[in-house]
Chain A
Amino acid sequence: MGSLPLLTILIAIPLIAGVAALFVKANAARWLALIATLLDLALSVYLWVQFDPNGAQWQFTELNPLGNGKPWLGIDGIALVLIELTAFLMPICIGASWRSIEKRVPEYMAAFLLMEALMLGVFAAQDLFLFYIFFEGGLIPMYLIIGIWGGAERIKASYKFFLYTLLGSVLMLIAMIYMVQEAGTTSIPALMVTDFPVDAQKWLWLAFFASFAVKMPMWPVHTWLPDAHVQAPTAGSVILAGVLLKMGGYGFIRFSLPMFPEGSAMFVPFVFVLSGLAVVYTSLVALVQTDMKKLIAYSSVAHMGFVTFGLFAMNRQGIEGAMMVMLGHGLVSGALFLCVGVVYDRLHTREIARYGGLSDNMPGYALLFMVFTMASVGLPGTSNFVGEFLSLVGTYRASTWAAIAGTTGIILGAAYMLLLYWRICFGTQRHKDAAAMPDLSAREWWLLAPIALGVFWMGIYPESFIRPFRNDVGRVLERVQHVAPHYDASVVPGKAKVEAH
């Protein structure tokens, strides 16, 4: 650990670049944003290399600069991998907006850079209110991104996004105030080992759940997501699906599980029912979509169902699987939105029926799209297989019924993704304009190929990604072990299988 405040630098680079971008011309703003995000990526890779998986739980810690000696920033393995994901996707987002955003470029780049700073802050914050400020502050740039650069229905979508997520979060704030008064500290590491009274845990858990379930999003509070995704510009969708949704899962694993283990256990059946519904119902909804972005948006909700299944199975496979689903989904859904963006930039429509037979005139595109489709389906060798398999194994250990619902979702997932791929890339070319589209440009290759590499790396050697957070998952497990649902179909919390024989 050097003496440099690395995390502060990590957050400050995009922040400063974002403010600077407001004062320069369009092209300079593009380059500024690209350079800043690449610098951040390099710095985050350095953090990854320096991070000692067997070392202290919290590394690169920094104290409050106002000098009261409280913890301020610091990361464990869970936060580290999510920071990697954010830093990896941001340059790709900037690249994806290089040509497709023509109006008010400096403001756009500034909004994205501020967004990055706030997202990194969410994962790096060690102070409860600092976390909340970053968590909520992210609404503002996203609101502007959807509202200014979005599609035809952008205003409605931006309001819905903002107010929906705000409504979820404010209850969490009251819960945080209560926790701070109860425990007498705002430090997240300290709160993670605080035992709150069981009665209070129930309410605290619900308040946090309201926030994270909306962010995640879980059925039935997912309805803001399809609107936001469809209306947002491509890069906005990538960030939304790639990182913002992960804040919900991160919240569960950072707050709900370790801080309120009894509360979590009490609501395991509730979460399982909602996750099962999410997986099955939203997959069915995805099947009948005619809009490409909407289809992928619903598939996101379904995939997030695997995350909540895994997390609330409260065993090692489940939680590690949930983390891997989050990482894998961050890459794959981001890439799928980019794939939509590629054809949208050419034809300006997201209607699935307007395309067809693209494998003839866009073979490169068809190849990469195939990779991401297969990854989304969960084909072995790709990132999502690892996560989904692990989280379903974990779920099975907690409840066979939940696992059945989950596996059904995998089958349905294969159905809607393959159908989408078939209707876009195969079949006859019915539309002249679609048949005349050129294949991927060099820029687009540069955007998609690194993600494809990441997808395979995660699928073939997931150890590089699991190693940093293995011990941290162990620490969460220590907190929840005594209440985890056990080994049989019963999801009654804490009851071991003793009545057999």
Chain B
Amino acid sequence: MGRFAPILPELILSVGATVLMMIAAFTGRRGSSLVSWLAILLLIAATAALVGAPSHAGPIFDGLISADLFASFGKAIMFPAAAVAIIAAQGWFGKEHEHSSEYSVLILFAAAGMSVMVSATSLISLYVGLELNSLASYVLASYRRTDERSAEAGLKYFVLGALASGILLYGISLLYGFTGTTNFTGLASAFARGAPSLGLLFGLVFLLAGLAFKISAVPFHMWTPDVYEGAPTPVTAFFASAPKVAAVLLSTRVCLDALAPATEAWRQIVIFAALASIFLGAVAAYGQNNIKRLLAYSSINNVGFVLIGLAGAGVAGASSVLFYMAVYVTMTLGAFLCVLWMRGADGEPIEEISSLSGLSQSRPGFAAALAVFMFSLAGIPPFFGFWAKLVVFNAAVKAGLLPLAVAGILGTVVGAYYYLKIVKVMYMDEPGAPYSRVREPVQGVLILIAAIAVSPLGYLLIGPLGTLSDMAAGSIF
């Protein structure tokens, strides 16, 4: 039994999800509320199971996964984020949708996949975790199957995702073929043996390309705006938060563990992807009038900043990635919960940015919260998003990547424009048709918590969060 203690969270999630699927099948629509609360409970239990986990359990199951602090840090962000995504869906699918209880089950399966992703120390478990998460995600994207946009989003995500998985598998098979191992430690020692061969380099590039698709880094970002726009908003909120953390952390582990001796080889790829994501994410968002598309570009833009931290490499780089993701998830979930509350007089969701006009006068609290998230995403002090950016730039400067830091920070100015645009619409334009009130007190509390966390009060978290992310980062070296 002791052997399974390190994977307790995964066990809770997968067994629990299977049981919940049965409950859902037998209770039908009546059970949807019950299932969603049970799912939240499972996620909380899985998070609680992280407490007291060994700080460095080392590789287990013949080096398939490693339940270290790095993985625990990721899970501690992802599980609550997944729970928020379930809460976000309450009252969304409820009235007009069939099978709404399966939504929670799919999220649980995705969470199990993500948790394998962040613990993976072998190319096989990496792929299995990624696919478990992806398959659940494809279904979630097309969850509103009667809605054309949702179906289109699901199909697009599936086709492009399959292509990316293929590329990833090709990279994995090349790496396996040239090194004879799928184990991260084995890969690292293979790369450490002098200059990598052409085959190894190809494997590395394909592997990173597949991962770049999952984190939606430019130039593999094309699916993001369409899928984010088409998918139901709670699903978009989920996509932008938890799976992104999983993919980013996975890439971090791959780069800093398996490919550590080949830092110079992957660093140029990461630097290109970082700058391209920052600038494309910033420029392409200019013309958007759909807030979900805009937030999609915002997430591409933010991935660019994370990659700057990753390019920094070393403990400082990994720590900055963890710190940034923790803050990013809070800001993004807060922003999407606000989007969820954009409902017209008939209660139907509205996604046009112009509908926010004059919100500060009709709904001052709502507008203030969204403005806080926007300023924070833009990285304007005194909001907490600024500190997250500072941390990644700190890592880049520490690694001597000054030109990268300068180029990246200029990108924040370009990006600031469209975040300001939302603030402008809410605060400076004449009031438009008011939104109908959403009666979801739990979501309201979550928005409030997120807003407080990214407000200047968040600076109180610098100490504990910094220590935790440093410790977690240290555990993969």
Q: Which residues of A contact B (CB under 8 A)?
A: 22, 66, 104, 107, 118, 129, 132-134, 136-137, 139-140, 143-144, 147-148, 154-155, 158-159, 162-163, 166-167, 170-171, 173-174, 177-178, 181
Contact with A along B272-301 (1 / 0, CB 8 A): 000000000000000000000000000000
Q: Give bound CA distance, A493 to B393, whole Å.
A: 34
B386 closest partner in A (C-beta): A133
Q: List 19 A-B contacts (CB under 8 A).
A: A133-B382, A133-B386, A136-B381, A136-B382, A137-B380, A137-B381, A140-B380, A143-B423, A147-B424, A147-B428, A154-B428, A163-B417, A166-B416, A170-B409, A170-B410, A173-B390, A174-B409, A177-B394, A181-B397
Residues of chain A contacted by B463 (CB below 8 angstroms)? 66
Q: Give bound CA distance, A66 to B460, whole Å.
A: 8
Residues of chain A contacted by B412 (CB below 8 angstroms)? 166, 170
Instruction: From the candidates A137, A140, A162, A177, name the one contacting B393 in the complex (CB within 8 A).
Output: A177
B406 closest partner in A (C-beta): A174
> Known contacts being A173-B390, A173-B409, is A162 close to B420, with CB within 8 Å?
yes
**Minimal beta-carbon separation of B372 from chain A (angstroms):** 10
Chain B residues 364-413 with CB under 8 Å of chain A are: 364, 375, 380-382, 386, 390, 393-394, 397-398, 402, 405-406, 409-410, 412-413
Contact with A along B76-106 (1 / 0, CB 8 A): 0000000000000000000000000000000
Q: Give bound CA distance, A177 to B382, whole Å.
A: 17
Q: Give bound CA distance, A22 to B406, whole Å.
A: 38
Q: Is the CB of A177 within 8 A of B420?
A: no
Instruction: Using C-beta atoms within 8 Å of the partner chain, give the interface range for chain B.
Output: 20 to 34
Chain A interface helix/strand/loop/mixed: helix
> Known contacts being A143-B420, A144-B427, A173-B393, is A167 close to B413, with CB within 8 Å?
yes
Residues of chain B contacted by A118 (CB below 8 angstroms)? 382
Residues of chain B contacted by A177 (CB below 8 angstroms)? 390, 393-394, 397, 405
Q: Give bound CA distance, A14 to B226, whole Å.
A: 45
Residues of chain A contacted by B398 (CB below 8 angstroms)? 181
> Known contacts being A133-B381, A174-B405, is A140 close to B386, with CB within 8 Å?
no
Residues of chain B contacted by A137 (CB below 8 angstroms)? 380-382
Q: Give bound CA distance, A401 to B405, whole Å.
A: 39
Chain B residues 344-364 with CB under 8 Å of chain A are: 360-361, 364
Chain B interface helix/strand/loop/mixed: helix
Q: Give bound CA distance, A22 to B409, whole Å.
A: 33
Q: Is the CB of A159 within 8 A of B393?
A: no
**Minimal beta-carbon separation of B446 from chain A (angstroms):** 22
Residues of chain B contacted by A171 (CB below 8 angstroms)? 406, 409-410
Residues of chain A contacted by B416 (CB below 8 angstroms)? 162-163, 166
Q: Is the CB of A159 within 8 A of B402?
A: no
Q: Is the CB of A147 within 8 A of B427?
A: yes
Q: Is the CB of B390 within 8 A of A167?
A: no
Q: Which residues of B contact A (CB under 8 A)?
A: 360-361, 364, 375, 380-382, 386, 390, 393-394, 397-398, 402, 405-406, 409-410, 412-413, 416-417, 420, 423-424, 427-428, 460, 463
Residues of chain A contacted by B360 (CB below 8 angstroms)? 107
**Minimal beta-carbon separation of B426 from chain A (angstroms):** 11
Residues of chain B contacted by A144 (CB below 8 angstroms)? 427
Q: Is the CB of A163 within 8 A of B413?
A: yes
**Minimal beta-carbon separation of B270 from chain A (angstroms):** 19
Q: Is the CB of A178 within 8 A of B397?
A: yes
Q: Give bound CA distance, A166 to B398, whole Å.
A: 23
Residues of chain B contacted by A139 (CB below 8 angstroms)? 380
A23 closest partner in B (C-beta): B364
**Minimal beta-carbon separation of B463 from chain A (angstroms):** 6
Residues of chain B contacted by A155 (CB below 8 angstroms)? 424, 428
Residues of chain A contacted by B424 (CB below 8 angstroms)? 147, 155, 158-159
> Known contacts being A147-B428, A177-B405, is A167 close to B381, with CB within 8 Å?
no
Give the one of B364, B390, B402, B413 with max A CB within 10 A.
B413
Residues of chain A contacted by B406 (CB below 8 angstroms)? 171, 174
**Minimal beta-carbon separation of A179 from chain B (angstroms):** 10
Q: Is the CB of B417 within 8 A of A132?
A: no
Q: Give bound CA distance, A147 to B361, whole Å.
A: 15
> Known contacts being A66-B463, A133-B381, is A159 close to B397, with CB within 8 Å?
no
A135 closest partner in B (C-beta): B381
B411 closest partner in A (C-beta): A170
Q: Give bound CA distance, A1 to B413, whole Å.
A: 42
Q: Give bound CA distance, A148 to B423, whole Å.
A: 11
B417 closest partner in A (C-beta): A163
**Minimal beta-carbon separation of A462 from chain B (angstroms):** 36
B375 closest partner in A (C-beta): A140
Q: Give bound CA distance, A471 to B117, whole Å.
A: 61
Given contact pairs A144-B427, A155-B428, A163-B413, enumerate 14 new A-B contacts (beta carbons under 8 Å): A137-B380, A137-B381, A143-B420, A148-B427, A155-B424, A159-B424, A162-B416, A166-B413, A173-B409, A174-B397, A174-B405, A174-B406, A177-B393, A181-B398
Q: Is the CB of B393 within 8 A of A174?
A: yes
Q: Give bound CA distance, A181 to B397, whole Å.
A: 8
Residues of chain B contacted by A170 (CB below 8 angstroms)? 409-410, 412-413
**Minimal beta-carbon separation of A41 from chain B (angstroms):** 24
Q: Give bound CA distance, A129 to B389, whole Å.
A: 13
B409 closest partner in A (C-beta): A170
**Minimal beta-carbon separation of A228 from chain B (angstroms):** 15
Residues of chain A contacted by B460 (CB below 8 angstroms)? 66
Residues of chain A contacted by B390 (CB below 8 angstroms)? 129, 173, 177
